[in-house]
Amino acid sequence: MRALIAILALIQVVIPLTYIAGGDARINAFLTNDDTYYYLQTAWNARHVGFVTFDGINATNGVQFLWFSVLYGLTFLTNDKSAFLALASTVAIVLTCLPYGVMWRLSSPRAGFMALFWFVICAYRPNQYLSGLESPLHASIIWLIVLQYVRIYRRLSLGAVSSSSVLFFVSLLVANTWTRLDSFGLSASFLALVLLTIDGPRHPVSPRPLFARSLPFGTYVAGALVIAAGTVGLFAFFQLAGGSLMPVSALVKGHHVDRMSLGAFYNWSLVLFPLRIQGANLLNILGIVAMFASVWTLAGMRVAQGETDFAALRLVALTLAVSVLIHSIATFGMFRYYYFWYLSATFAYWTITLAIVSAQLVERHAWSYRMTAAAGFVVAVPIVCLWWMREPPNNLAATRYEAAKWIDANLEDDAIVGSFNAGQLGYFSNRSVVNLDGLINNVTYFETVLRDESPDALSAYMDRIGIDYVADHLLGRWRELIEGNFVTIRQFGLASGGSVRVMKKASGASRPEPAPSNAAAISHKAGR
């Protein structure tokens, strides 16, 4: 089984490295999306400009803390943005392979099935985990939580568990929330699980009695301090970076929540079972049935005496199911079908659950674990690899890249550009590109412009900041305002129709001089 795991990890590394070797254009078209560059540009500017900012003008906290911190650290390894992009993409690839290391350490026949399912998840839609967003880091931390819980369970089966192993487990739970704030349900669920495992008289869902022996009181105090320090540190970062305790991206998404729509219900089904079949919403709803059926199946499984790893993994899967349900409720109406970076816990749940069910089938029919896993490898891997390799470049991403390079070559060095989809344009244009959808802007922009949805407020904001240009392919509800004040000077056609337009403020649309900003003056320099 370990040879199978190693081969899958190797394949998962080699294929995306061929894209990285192709430089910025191929990385952008195959491995990233627009939101990737919200993180990359903000981390880059945090080092070169001196505060947390995407555009060099507005302070922001619209990032997940731990992944931003990793990228910020990487900026000290290079002064070249192309090298930084390649480095960040490579780190993302390495992190997608860390779960294979966890499976390797589990030393269970189920680990081979886990590796197969994990490979299919990562390779079926590569941008789920190779996008340079926080999802590969989040997945790695979740799998480390799984491994550490299994270790604790094993040690308890032998009679005792060390305080250090429990405190490390608690630290991983804090890191999980640092990686995605909306994953608090996972941390809370696993904290409850480990406390019940250590101190409960009997497991709530397992017929197996607990071998429980309470830890020293100081361990509980230390664990509480770790959680408190992690919580205070996280919200202190958000407050210091952007002026609000909640990240501005959460405020913006929460403002646009529509919890009563049919679309929100369809999207909820994808949080539970992320088999997205475009245009097949009714079929996707079967994912809700699959989720609850799988939980029922896991809860009804009997655990034989001595099957320590199986007992632990079953409890892990049930706890992941609880956390996924909490997450689906917390993000209901906010989740969109392409928010794959929300779903690391869901992917981990289905990887473990399908592996457990597969192992049960193998045992029931007295098949060989090795032969079954090898057959799965022979069937699944070539199909998935071919699917991966035939994936065309993202035309929208490539077109934005082309537009950004044109901006870099043709607009003034101190030009300030506005965009509702600002990631790629901001990173590759080497200009101050202000994010007008608010996700990576300052909280005051959300409060004064987006919350009231006021065209006059947006117009006043653009005048105050000094936005001379707008570049985008969609203008949404602001289209009339933008087209009334800006004229198109360059268009870049999209294969799907429409175009990415670069627009300049019309000469008749006068405005007062923008307030001076040192950050605005140096932002474009930091981008080079």
DSSP-derived secondary structure for 376-390:
HHHHHHHHHHHHHHT
The encoded tokens of residue 449 equal: 């412009």
Q: Tokens 């649309």: give the residue.
A: 509
User: Alpha-carbon distance 400 to 19, whole Å?
Assistant: 18
* Per-residue pLDDT, 288: 83
Of 102-106, 126-130, 214-218, the least confident: 126-130
Helix or strand holding residue 94 (H, E) = helix 81-106
Whether the pLDDT of residue 105 is over 50: the answer is: yes
Could you tell me the pLDDT band of residue 520, with boundaries at 50, 70 and 90?
very low
Neighbouring residues of 20: CB distance < 8 A, sequence distance ≥ 6: 26, 27, 31, 86, 89, 90, 93
Neighbouring residues of 164: CB distance < 8 A, sequence distance ≥ 6: none
Neighbouring residues of 227: CB distance < 8 A, sequence distance ≥ 6: 170, 173, 174, 191
* Per-residue pLDDT, 232: 98
Q: What is the pLDDT of residues 213-223, one digit of tens each?
A: 568 889 999 99
Whether the pLDDT of residue 274 is over 80: the answer is: no
Whether the pLDDT of residue 256 is over 60: the answer is: yes
The residue-averaged pLDDT of 78-100 equals 95
* Per-residue pLDDT, 431: 95
The encoded tokens of residue 436 equal: 């007008």
Whether the pLDDT of residue 282 is over 80: the answer is: no
Of 19-33, 131-145, 326-340, the least confident: 326-340
Q: What is the mean pLDDT of the chain?
A: 86
User: Alpha-carbon distance 448 to 453, whole Å?
Assistant: 9
Could you tell me the pLDDT band of residue 487, with boundaries at 50, 70 and 90?
very high
pLDDT top residue among 225 and 275: 225
- DSSP secondary structure code for residue 79 in this structure: S
User: Alpha-carbon distance 139 to 301, whole Å?
Assistant: 26
Sign of CA dihedral 454, 455, 456, 458: positive
* Per-residue pLDDT, 526: 46
* Per-residue pLDDT, 490: 96
Of 37-51, 188-202, 418-432, the least confident: 188-202
pLDDT top residue among 210 and 9: 9
Burial class (CB in 10 A: 0-12, 13-18, 19+), 77: exposed
Whether the pLDDT of residue 337 is over 70: the answer is: no
Whether the pLDDT of residue 360 is over 70: the answer is: yes
Whether the pLDDT of residue 470 is over 70: the answer is: yes
Phi, psi of 499 (to 5 degrees): -160, 160
Neighbouring residues of 116: CB distance < 8 A, sequence distance ≥ 6: 4, 8, 373, 376, 377, 380
- DSSP secondary structure code for residue 514 in this structure: P
CB contact at 8 A, 395 and 379? no
Could you tell me the pLDDT band of residue 518, with boundaries at 50, 70 and 90?
very low
The residue-averaged pLDDT of 77-81 equals 96
pLDDT top residue among 49 and 289: 49
Q: What is the pLDDT of residues 160-182, one digit of tens each?
A: 788 999 999 999 999 999 999 98
Tell how many helices (H) and how many strands (E) occur in the chain. Answer: 23, 5
The span from the first CA to the last CA of the chain, in angstroms, equals: 47
Could you tell me the pLDDT band of residue 204, with boundaries at 50, 70 and 90?
very low
pTM of this prediction exceeds 0.75: yes
* Per-residue pLDDT, 168: 97
User: Alpha-carbon distance 315 to 294, whole Å?
Assistant: 13
